[in-house]
Structure 1
């Protein structure tokens, strides 16, 4: 009976963790940690529970359901049809250039062949890095704000910056022209939630970080509401593909491009096995979303191809 209980316990644990992280999320600190912890953690018991229940011939089917649910939640079962698009958009947290040179970084960006490039942590520390990178990318117009930079091959109509509360960063809104119509691009880098703060017992700072992120997400929602027409939000949102902030941003802007056109877990921050860099769009349909291999930062670049028109 214990082995059967073990199988049911594992299944119910996965369901409970997924449900609390998805639907309660940032409302409480414990569920915030569930939402922001790497989803792959809930798959770790499977290699032990599955053979145990298989050998004892009790509860294997229940354990298998739990393991498949955990694998689905971690993105391993994510698969969507893909096709070529008409517009390529890249976002990439470049870690201030610490792990790369301007020439190597430019090579990664050139190979991506993106029409629009959104960089975060673009406060490059090596002297002359920013200028050398721009020089190595001829044909791109550059617009910058505090810690973010947008480069594009499309005509630029205008740009503006908006302060993010709780940190020194800015959001960069760049209005472009694509196929004779305006296209607004919002480049953002939200604050992070450090799970290590909770492990260290610093729940006060964790709550402060949560509240700051809520205020920052509201800034993006307001920008989306006052921006008409086609819109792409991209950047390091420090938000896993679940929880309240993630759903609020999707509602304000549009669907998650990787969820609609990506494959696999799509980890953009591989050290922690999480997908926290996103693109969301309205007036455009993602046809292919790919996380590129690169060694120029602690993040990986996300490239999304779009076609005209909203998702059906």
Structure 2
């Protein structure tokens, strides 16, 4: 192939990748919970496409085209951060305050062994554990809950359906909050930590699947209808969180498997509510949590209000098909005479 034609192809593909990545990023942040086809596209792990600009940079280097090397390396960096969700090292000053550690894990239909989970929690010195998919495949919850109570003596174990929250700090109250239109809920616990009231929200949002389940087949749902049905809970979720945020001004920790990529409309809406992604604050790299053996996506999150992440890690222990996410954070100093200090 002539040199000029080869260079023209390099320019074309370099510009095309950048344009498509930009269009995908902007569209996903505005309409990924609105347009069914974009919701499906947004399930493609962006990390799998990252080699494309790196390959183009390599080809440009072979042709000694420094400008196109820089262009493609810049495109790769932007794509890694804004689409694949890479967190760059930060040197933020942490506020004074009390330390608190939270661990969250999707247990893959109660497959995470309680004894191994307890050992992991002890090793990481976690104060709060939020678990999802705490039902076995026959949708039985009590055996797994009983095994967890045995493995975590002295802890408070809360459960609603497949959600389990384990706490070793004083519990003030707990309840479930049901979504207005869909049969989904979050499990809410209020605890006392560092002389103040802290709200912990355990959540699990549905995944966006292509293949129909038994209900879809019975109702004859088309692919657009199936995706819209699966998106209903995700569309309601920001409103549910907004109401919880409006019920008090203390620290709030939202943890769980949100089945959403580290970009998109849901991410934007939670940021708009004043929550901050703990991994974006204090994580390193991509924070991949699924699949545990060969992770390619980040679907598990901890979002914070009124607290600062100090360190965030995904753990390599193979307890389920997800990797556990552990967040070490600091709570702000309790205000003198705050309600949390007067509670028993």
TM-score normalised over the length of structure 2: 0.80
- Counterpart contact for 1:7–1:60, Cα < 8 Å: no
Instruction: Kindly indicate whether the alpha-carbon contact (under 8 Å) linking 1:256 and 1:280 is maintained by their aligned counterparts in 2.
Output: yes
Q: 1:128 to 1:87 in 2, by over 3 A?
A: same
Distance 1:245 1:47, change over 3 A: closer
**1:281-300 maps to which residues of 2 (within 5 A)?**
281-300=304-323
Q: Which shifted more, 128-137 or 233-242?
A: 128-137
| Unaligned residue ranges in structure 1 (runs of 5+) | none
Secondary structure at 1:45's aligned position in 2? helix
Give secondary structure in 1 for the equivalent of 2:101: strand
Q: Which residue of 2 aligns with 1:67?
A: 76
Is structure 2 residue 287 aligned with structure 1 residue 266? yes
Larger radius of gyration: 2
Counterpart of 2:329 (choices 296, 306, 310) is: 306
2:234 corresponds in structure 1 to: 213
Contact 1:38–1:272 under 8 Å retained in 2: no
Deviates more, 1:231-240 or 1:270-279: 270-279
Deviations 1:155-197 (A, max 9, x none): 0011111224676543111111112211111111111212567
Q: 1:178-189 residue pairs with structure 2 within 5 A?
A: 178-189=193-204
RMSD (CA atoms): 2.6
Aligned to 2:109: 96
Q: Which residue of 1 aligns with 2:12?
A: 5
Distance, in Å, in 1 between the alignment partners of 2:79 and 2:180 is 35
Distance in 2 (CA, whole Å) between partners of 1:22 and 1:120 is 26
Cα distance in 1 for partners of 2:16, 2:69 equals: 12
Q: Aligned partners of 1:172, 1:139: CA distance in 2, in Å?
A: 20
Runs of 4+, deviation exceeding 6 Å: 82-85
Counterparts of 1:158 and 1:285 in 2: how far apart (Å)?
24
Looking at structure 2, the residues matched to 166 and 111 of structure 1 have their Cα atoms a distance apart, in angstroms, of: 40
> 1:120 touches 1:147 (CA, 8 Å); kept in 2?
yes
Q: Is the 8 A contact 1:145 1:172 kept in 2?
A: yes
The answer on 1:78 being equivalent to 2:88 is yes
Does the CA-based 8 Å contact 2:109-2:133 persist in structure 1?
A: yes
1:43 to 47, 50, 54: 50
CA shift digits 1:79-116 (9 cap, x unpaired):
23488971101111111222x43222322222221111
Q: How far apart, CA to CA, are the structure 1 residues paired with 2:49 and 2:211?
A: 18
- 1:108 counterpart = 2:158: no
How many residue pairs match? The answer is: 307
Question: Any unmatched runs of 5+ in structure 2?
Answer: 1-7, 213-221, 334-344
TM-score by length of 1: 0.88
